[in-house]
Each structure stands twice: as structure tokens, then as C-alpha cells.
Amino acid sequence: MSRFWSDHVADLAPYTPGEQPGISDLLKLNTNEHPYGPSPRVVDAIKAATDDRLRLYPDPAATALREAIAALCDVEADQVFLGNGSDEILAHVFNGLFRKAGRPLLMPDISYSFYRSYCRLYQVPHEIIPLAADFSIRVADYTARRDVPAAGIIFANPNAPTGIALGLAEIELILKANPDSAVVVDEAYVDFGAQTAIPLLARYDNLVVIQTLSKSRSLAGLRVGFALAGKQVVNGLLRIKDSFNSYPLDRLAQVGALAAIQDTAYFEQTRQAVIAAREQLVARLTVLGFDVLPTLANFVFARHPAHSALSLSQALRERHILVRHFRQERIEQFLRISVGTPGECERLCNALSEILNKH
């Protein structure tokens, strides 16, 4: 540890993203990026905005983009909060909503691992609640009466890395049982088949829904996410944001994201293509002997009863195919595999078939 560091730096547990190595015939199925590029209209809009205006600061409120998202989601523009990727929004949420002495944050043991990193960074008291044996979120664990209400509850829906989704009625039970806790539903993968909680916003002022353009709109490189919540919650997040960086979305990100939101036809077509490829991938992996959790995301979470996940991931790596393996209790026998194009899924399954036959 360096003598220049502030005291808390050594104790942080930074998030480890999937690797991005520069191998030429690499098949990257390890970070849940979209296999098709973004809408061509996004690229056109960014090109058209790439000029002298870059000397000017962007609109700090990103008004045009917020209004487009509000129209898409049928909420008011002042219920929309934007961030440089939804990870940044999550950081503000942990900082702004979950730091309450004596009132823990509740979250599943298996979920997006960044949540734990933010707990460390912002010293959020938290209680880890194990998923059920089938890796689903057990709603009753979040609806039991507590003497002191939790500061908040956070989970991804569909959950990551399991891909398993809760239905709207189950989310509503959690909201209803926790009127004094901020309930944050991270919907990074919701466009691939799960139900969004957005319609519940009108009735529950404790709900925060977070979405991203990184996955279903194929814009991981642009860094745009948004949260939807009641106006009071959004105002709290704005106070945090404007105490941190009042221009989180640059000019190009704002116009590119706006074009992506507007191109509904392209969005629909590419997300349906991913859903169809996922169903085929699940079927092929099942034939190869894998147990595949029921997924509504753009990835599958699968284990083979006769082969260690670590050795499978290494054998795939030798064939220049990257998948994600987590060295974490309960899930170390699983591989998380992003859904690629049908051709990419084919290459993956052929490689797996060869590896399984050899050992």
C-alpha cells in the first residue's frame, strides 16, 4: 500500500470486468455485449455531431435524451436520471440511498458483483441473502417484517449471472412489504424477455428502475444508462451527481443514445434475433449434457455434471473462445456464456462438443 493513499483505498474490492484481449479470431462471449452493432442511425448521429461544437460543454441535463426516454417509458422527464453507464448510476444510488446507519441494504448472495464493490467504497451496511437452491430469488426473504426497515433492497432482474427473472407480481410484493426502503431493480437485461417494473412506478414511490443502453441497444462503448424513479428520489440522485460530475454524458453520447432510443424498429429486430439465438443455444447445450438455468437474459448460465467449469473455460480459451467463469462459492461449476450470432453459437457448441468428447 502506498503512503500517498487515503486510508480506505487499501480496503476496496474493485469489480473485475471480463477481459478484452486483442486476439484476432477471438470469440468474445464473456461480457454480454450485443453480437450485432448498434443502429446505423447512432453512428450517423455521432458523426453529424463531431464538429467544432465539441469545444462546448454538453447539456448537463441531457434534456432531449431524457424527454425521449420519458416518452418511451411513459413517465415524466423529471423522473429520468442519466449516467455514464448504469454502473455510475449504481454508484450514486449506493451513495445517495443506501448509506444509513443501523439500516442495512439487502441483496442476494449471487448477483451483480459490483454491488459488493460499491458497499465497500461507500461503506454501506448490508445483509447478504442466499438465493434458493434453484438459484431463484426467494421473495419471502424480502417481505418478512423487520423491526427497523432496511435502507434498501437491490437485485438484478433478470438476475446476473443466473439469468433467472422475477415476475411483476413478485416484485410488487417486495415493494408493498417495504414502503420505507428504496427498492432498486437493475434491469440491465430486461429487454431480452423479462417484464419491466416500470408500470409499478406510478404506484410505488420506493421503486427505482435502472436500465442501460450497453446490452440490448448494443452501446457498451458509449456508456449510457438511466434510472427511473419518483421525482424526490431523482432529486436526491441529482444532488449527488452535481456534487460529483455535472456533465456525465458527453455530447456524442447524448446524440448517439437519442438515436438509439428513436430507432425502435432496429431495436426490436436485433433483440428478437438474440432471443431466438438464445433459445437455440440453450437447446444445443442441453443436448451436450449441460444443466442450463432458465434464462431471460442475453446469456446462459450452465454447468456440466461431469466437467469442471474452470477446465472447460480454459479449453475454450485455447480455442480462442472466451466465456466467463466466477470463482465464487455455489457457482464455481457454472459458465456464463453470452449469446452470440447463430454462427458464433455454432462455433462455441462445436468446440464444446470436441472438448467433451476428448476428456
Ligand X SMILES: *Cc1c(COP(=O)(O)O)cnc(C)c1O
Would you tell me which residues interact with ligand X (CB under 6 A)?
A: 85-87, 112, 156, 160, 186, 188, 212, 214, 220, 225
- Give 140's contacts (C-beta < 8 A, 6+ positions apart): none
Query: Least distance (Å) from ligand X to the CB of residue 194?
Result: 12
User: Which grid coordinates are listed for 258?
Assistant: 437519442
CB nearer ligand X, residue 251 or residue 336: 336
- With contact defined as beta carbons under 8 Å apart, do 226 and 83 qualify? yes
Residue 219: enclosing H or E segment and its boundaries?
none
C-alpha cell at 210: 435502472
Alpha-carbon distance of 25 to 74, in angstroms, equals: 43
Is the Cβ of residue 35 or residue 85 nearer to ligand X in the bound state? 85
Question: Taking the complex as a whole, how short is the minimal distance between the CB of residue 160 and ligand X, in angstroms?
Answer: 4
Count of other CB atoms within 10 angstroms of residue 283: 12
State which residue, 117 or 212, has the beta carbon closest to ligand X.
Answer: 212
Q: Closest separation between CB of residue 154 and ligand X, Å?
A: 10
Closest contact distance (angstroms) between CB of 159 and ligand X is 8
Looking at beta carbons, which residue is closest to ligand X? 85
Distances (CA, A) of 300 to 28, 279, 310: 14, 10, 16
> Of 86 and 304, which CB lies nearer to ligand X in the complex structure?
86
Q: How far is the CB of 112 from ligand X (least distance, A)?
A: 4
Task: Give me the residues paired with residue 126 across strands.
Answer: 105
Q: Tell me the residue type at 324.
A: R
The residues, any chain, with a CB within 8 Å of residue 347's CB and separated by 6 or more, are 27, 321
Return the number of the residue (114 or 266) whose C-beta is nearest ligand X.
114
